[in-house]
Amino acid sequence: MVTTNHSKIRFIGYAISTFPAHLGEGYGGGTYLGNPNMDIDIEARITILKNAVDTAKAQIPVCQDDASVTNIFMAPEFFFHSPHGPYIYPSSDQDPIPKILARLLETFNATDYPNWTFVFGTALSAQIANPEKLFLSESVKARNEIVKFLVAQEEKSASGIALVVSNTLKGFIRDCQNYPDVIVRDRALIVSNIPLDSPVKPLQTKQMTTEKYFISGEDFILFDTEGKHDVVTEQMVAYRHIDLSNGDLKEHPDDLYAIFRQNYGVDNFPNYVDFGVEICLDHDDERLRLNLGQEPFPNPSDAVHVQLVPSCGSAIAGASVVTDSYGFVFNCDGQYPLDGTHDQAQQGTIGGVQCVFVNYNSSPSGAYNYHSAHTQLARVQNPAQGNNPNAGSASFQTLDTADVYSFPVIAPQLAVGNFNDYFAGGPGAVHIYGLHQAYELYPRPDTANKVESDKVTNS
């Protein structure tokens, strides 16, 4: 008898701003929020996550939360960070990421969340043996002083000269990143009570990370608007190189790669599903697309079916979509709205992608600000072919907004400090796609020519 465990999927996004606070008037300035005690900071952020997850869980009808449904919960990029920017640790054996994952596994256990898979945004970290010496070094001081000077000149210059200064600033930062003072890691935190595997070997793990490759001009502040000098700035950093010459399939839970698998059994429909996680600019820069059709999957027909994009300043990019037919692309962003609407599900075409989406705006007036957020879901009709994004993109189905809901999150009580000590844009909202009727992962074998969901119609 064929079972249908995990044959359906529901997407839940925590729309919360993860952008720096106190942006001020200067381009690129801001302040990283958080508690200087790393353990306190991590516990506070996990409490905030649990509050958001439980807000969503309380809305799901009991009859719609059975073994046939996988709940995907995702938070934005940079959810975990410190007042320095990254969590700073002196040696590899003190890397905080294993500690965070262990606490997440304990908090979001299989008893309370049996059919949930979580991407808890990302965590910034940097191994620095002597932070005080680094921040006082001539290299760091020179970089920061030059950048702040160029920002000031750009602000008071007009027209063409402002453009020249802007280009000089960007070029200087780019050159600095070729000679970084510190290597920062931006890792997505994946926790699942449905065991996680590699497409090429059994792992049967409940936790994984994947790592960001491409650094964005918005990943770090250029200077601290509160006058702090012990912060990691854009001109100091680089990310680790990732060798993608043989694809992006994970082989170990904490390797740098992006594609993992959930196996459901040979007597189940489906037998397994492959997931790909692309962090913000990695999606924009087509990390997975550039290997489309060349990943060393065990079977030629294997492909990513669920593409997950945690971001802080990005949206689904049509040319970057790599899922197969009926595949899903889900984005949770911690910086900006997709249009002027707030808190209501919308359907439309954003950047050439037919999708449904919901915005969160922390401004009482609804005016655009950098402490906004959005979630976005698209489903592929005809997949992209080949690894050349210029040769054509996927086409998309038209999704309905009827079963997409937004629920406000109430800020939880924290052991130390209050919510505003950690996040600048308010407690956000959870957006649930497929609240009452989860999406079918694939058409059933006996209905192979249509999608069995009254929320999905072909465009």
pLDDT in tens, 24-67: 656 789 999 999 999 999 999 999 999 999 999 999 988 767 88
Q: What are the angstrom distances between the C-alpha of 61 and each of 16, 234, 345?
A: 24, 45, 19
Q: Is the pLDDT score of 6 beyond 90?
A: yes
Interhelix angle 138-156/159-177, rounded to 10 degrees, is 160
Q: What is the pLDDT of residues 422-437, one digit of tens each?
A: 999 999 999 999 999 9
Q: Is the pLDDT score of 303 beyond 80?
A: yes
Find the mean pLDDT for residues 117-131. 98
Query: What is the number of other CB atoms lying within 10 angstroms of the CB of residue 50?
Result: 16
Find the mean pLDDT for residues 111-138. 97
Q: What are the angstrom distances between the C-alpha of 329 and each of 3, 324, 400, 442?
A: 25, 11, 15, 14
Residue percentage of the chain with pLDDT more than 90: 86
Between residues 155 and 399, which one has the greater pLDDT?
399
Q: What is the pLDDT of residue 445?
A: 61
Q: What is the pLDDT of residue 459?
A: 30
The residues with which 332 forms a beta bridge, in sequence order, are 310, 375
Q: Is the pLDDT score of 403 beyond 70?
A: yes
Q: What is the pLDDT of residue 370?
A: 75
Q: What is the pLDDT of residues 169-196, one digit of tens each?
A: 999 999 999 999 999 999 999 999 999 9
- pTM confidence score: 0.94
Q: What is the pLDDT of residue 247?
A: 96
Interhelix angle 96-107/38-57, rounded to 10 degrees, is 30
Find the mean pLDDT for residues 245-259. 97
Q: What is the pLDDT of residues 65-90, one digit of tens each?
A: 788 999 999 999 999 999 999 999 99
Q: What is the pLDDT of residues 308-357, one digit of tens each?
A: 999 999 999 999 999 999 999 999 999 999 998 999 999 999 999 999 99
Q: What is the pLDDT of residue 450?
A: 37
Could you give the CA distance from residue 75 to residue 305 in angstroms, rounded to a whole number? 20
Whether the Cβ atoms of residue 330 and residue 376 lie closer than 8 Å to each other: yes
Q: Is the pLDDT score of 453 beyond 90?
A: no
Q: What is the pLDDT of residue 457?
A: 32
